[in-house]
Amino acid sequence: MKTFTEKEIEQTINEEYLRLGLPRSPAIGFDHIYHEEQKSNTRSRSEIQDFSTQISPHVRINIPILGANMIDVTDEKMMIALAREGGIAFPPQFFHIAAIGSMIDKTHRAECALIEKPITVRPEKTLKEAKQLMQQHNIKGLLVTDNARRLIGLLSSKDWQYELDETKLVGDLMTSKEKKRLITAPKSVSFADAEKIFLKHKKEKLPLVDGWGKVTGLITARGLFYNRFYPRALRDEKGRFLCGATIGVGRHLTKTKLKEIEYLLEKEVPIILIDTSRAWAINMEDVLKATAHLIRHIKKYANIDVAAGNVSTWGGAKFLIECGADAVKVGQGPGSQCQTRKTGTGTPQITAIIECSVVTRLYGKYCWGDGGVKTPGDIIHAIIAGANAYMLGKLIVGTEESAATAFPNKDGDIRYKTYRGSASVSVQQERQAQGNLDYQRRPEGFKEDVPVFGPLKWRLNDLLHGISSGMSFFGAKTVSELHEKGIMRRKEKE
């Protein structure tokens, strides 16, 4: 890796401030700036439909939105909902590693085109037992197999949804070769050929079997044709929703931590986020270098990227990249529930993004903003400043799919969700109860009740309409063009 000197970086940063039309000092936050209109060749904001952006060497998303790895924001519901709309979410690192793995598994299985390890049931099980299994995995059908995992039938919703007697056996309800021709395909079938089978036979599920009739996978019609209904949906080559994985740093790099890293790498996520509020630190160096080493030296991990954060200076960004990060998460203290800046640390966010993104571009890496966004205009300013995407917390915690539990107000006519900073007292207490925090620190976060306003799709559509409007003032048709064409001005009065 080519490295850059302090002089080279400082010179490039000064040139970037000049290009953007901003002074380097004093430091700049979201509330300090605005952008002026320019002559635009965009006739209508509706012309702007491409919001895609590259966030790491192997990951491109369809909207510049990342779901924050916060306890009240992201679980499998948010990971699925955001991937459905073209973004990518990261689970909180504070849960037990198996719980994080379970969130990833549920996201991968949700409305998936190709399920490599479908859930199966034996024919002697009762309908009640089968329903419990389906409820556990949030599915509506099961493959029925014998002791050798040979396929003998399919229990679909059509077979059981009108059946009132739950003591009936699966074998008596399932679609089988004896009752009706069961359509299957070899495990090598392509998605194109599977599509033809679905169109011909009008089935919902296509079991895959080997030469001995053993189950090797399952293709679902809902997953295969999904992009026709959700064109922005993010899916991998197996038709699974894209999501990230997250891990913390801890005090020391232990054997347990190494096993946790390998466990997440085995989950086949495209990107792993190593997260701590103070990333320019020796314990981050240990974990980041260990993760990067595994990715570089184990062939099956070669296409997995690693992101790290948070930092808020170009020195911190340079440190993370030289330790192995493909993307740098920027922001210390700008979040609405964060009180880190009461410690005296934290660069105003626009300045932090400008200076960190200069370094990420010099090294051919990527920059994510994190915290403090209140409006679509803030996201526009962050992209102009150099962010490839922005991580949201408060703006999406009020959606129905966020991880927080909704509760009614005293009159019962408005629902709220509680949004807590990751270093708040209550989150620290949860971590203590889980055994991953030894004692409570001075809180650097607090909580707030946020009204529930509807599904995530509504919020994202509102944000994207605002972003497209802002892009139209620059004549920018893509996110990368917005960065290239955008300029900003500092307000004369705060």
Rounded Cα–Cα distance for residues 20 and 34 (Å): 11
In this model, does residue 191 exceed pLDDT 70? yes
pLDDT score recorded for residue 350: 96
CA dihedral 11, 14, 20, 25 (to 10 degrees): 160
Average pLDDT of the segment spanning 18-40:
90
In this model, does residue 48 exceed pLDDT 80? yes
Mean pLDDT lowest among 107-121, 341-355, 460-474: 341-355
In terms of domains, do 28 and 128 share one?
no
In terms of domains, do 279 and 326 share one?
yes
* 82-141 pLDDT, tens digit each: 999 999 999 999 889 999 999 999 999 888 889 888 999 999 999 999 999 998 888 888
In terms of domains, do 64 and 48 share one?
yes
1 domain residue, yes or no: no
In terms of domains, do 38 and 169 share one?
no
pLDDT score recorded for residue 314: 97
C-alpha distances in angstroms, 241 versus 50, 111, 113, 117, 229?
20, 8, 9, 16, 14
Whether the CB-CB separation of 419 and 337 falls below 8 Å is answered with: yes
Give the total number of structural domains in the chain: 2
- The helix or strand, by DSSP H or E, that contains position 4, with its residue range, turns out to be none
In terms of domains, do 370 and 328 share one?
yes
Find where tokens 């296409």 sit: 303
Range of 164's domain?
115-228
In terms of domains, do 245 and 195 share one?
no
* 162-185 pLDDT, tens digit each: 888 999 999 999 988 665 678 899
pLDDT score recorded for residue 421: 66
pLDDT score recorded for residue 438: 60
pLDDT score recorded for residue 218: 93
Burial of 237 (0-12, 13-18, 19+ CB in 10 A): exposed
- The DSSP line for 71-104 is TTT-SHHHHHHHHHTT-EE---TTS-HHHHHHHH
Quote the radius of gyration of the chain (alpha carbons, Å).
25
Nearest CA among 288, 286, 283 for reference residue 272: 288
In terms of domains, do 10 and 122 share one?
no
Q: How confident is the model at residue 388 (pLDDT cuts 50, 70, 90)?
A: very high
In terms of domains, do 324 and 389 share one?
yes
Nearest CA among 111, 113, 196, 204 for reference residue 154: 204
Q: What is the CATH number of the domain that holds 172?
A: 3.10.580.10
- The helix or strand, by DSSP H or E, that contains position 369, with its residue range, turns out to be strand 366-370
In this model, does residue 340 exceed pLDDT 60? no
Instruction: Specify the DSSP class assigned to residue 330.
Output: E
Which residue did the predictor score with more confidence, 68 or 116? 68
pLDDT score recorded for residue 267: 96
Average pLDDT of the segment spanning 208-217:
92
Instruction: Specify the DSSP class assigned to residue 240.
Output: P
- The helix or strand, by DSSP H or E, that contains position 156, with its residue range, turns out to be none
Structure tokens at 383: 């992209």
Q: What is the CATH number of the domain that holds 432?
A: 3.20.20.70
Burial of 189 (0-12, 13-18, 19+ CB in 10 A): middle
Rounded Cα–Cα distance for residues 288 and 55 (Å): 18
Which residue did the predictor score with more confidence, 335 or 66? 66
In terms of domains, do 194 and 304 share one?
no
pLDDT score recorded for residue 392: 97
Model confidence, pTM: 0.85
Instruction: Specify the DSSP class assigned to residue 111.
Output: T
Rounded Cα–Cα distance for residues 12 and 386 (Å): 13
In this model, does residue 2 exceed pLDDT 60? yes
* 421-458 pLDDT, tens digit each: 665 556 666 656 666 666 566 655 567 888 898 999 99
**Bond prior to 26 in cis (omega within 30° of 0):** yes
C-alpha distances in angstroms, 155 versus 27, 68, 132, 294, 394?
62, 38, 13, 41, 42
- 169, 201, 228 - which closes a domain: 228
- The helix or strand, by DSSP H or E, that contains position 47, with its residue range, turns out to be none
Average pLDDT of the segment spanning 54-83:
96
Find where tokens 């090797």 sit: 216
Burial of 231 (0-12, 13-18, 19+ CB in 10 A): exposed
Structure tokens at 68: 């924050």
Structure tokens at 40: 């635009």
HSE-CB at 92 with a 13 A cutoff on CA atoms is 22
- 174, 193, 228 - which closes a domain: 228
pLDDT score recorded for residue 341: 55
Q: Is 384 helix (H, G, I), strand (E, B) or coil?
A: helix
Strands 120-121 and 142-145, how do they pair? parallel
372 domain residue, yes or no: yes
233 domain residue, yes or no: no
pLDDT score recorded for residue 434: 66
Rounded Cα–Cα distance for residues 422 and 426 (Å): 9
Average pLDDT of the segment spanning 316-335:
92
166 domain residue, yes or no: yes
The letter for the amino acid at 125 is K
Q: Is 434 helix (H, G, I), strand (E, B) or coil?
A: helix
Rounded Cα–Cα distance for residues 112 and 206 (Å): 12
**Residues involved in catalysis:** 338, 431
In this model, does residue 336 exceed pLDDT 60? no
Whether the CB-CB separation of 370 and 352 falls below 8 Å is answered with: no
C-alpha distances in angstroms, 264 versus 34, 71, 267?
41, 18, 5
Which residue did the predictor score with more confidence, 419 or 488? 488
pLDDT score recorded for residue 436: 66
- 228, 261, 287 - which closes a domain: 228
Distance of CA 308 to the CA centre of its chain: 14
Rounded Cα–Cα distance for residues 372 and 311 (Å): 15
In terms of domains, do 287 and 428 share one?
yes
Average pLDDT, the chain: 89
Vertex 465: Cα angle to 462 and 466 (nearest 5): 85
pLDDT score recorded for residue 468: 95
235 domain residue, yes or no: no
Distance of CA 25 to the CA centre of its chain: 34
Average pLDDT of the segment spanning 261-274:
97
Alpha helices in 335-478 (DSSP H): 349-362, 376-385, 394-397, 425-434, 456-472
In terms of domains, do 53 and 147 share one?
no
In terms of domains, do 254 and 186 share one?
no
- The proportion of the chain whose per-residue pLDDT surpasses 70, expressed as a percent, equals 91
236 domain residue, yes or no: no
Rounded Cα–Cα distance for residues 350 and 29 (Å): 5
pLDDT score recorded for residue 414: 81
In this model, does residue 229 exceed pLDDT 90? no
Distance of CA 289 to the CA centre of its chain: 23
Q: How confident is the model at residue 315 (pLDDT cuts 50, 70, 90)?
A: very high
Rounded Cα–Cα distance for residues 28 and 275 (Å): 24
pLDDT score recorded for residue 159: 85
191 domain residue, yes or no: yes
pLDDT score recorded for residue 203: 84
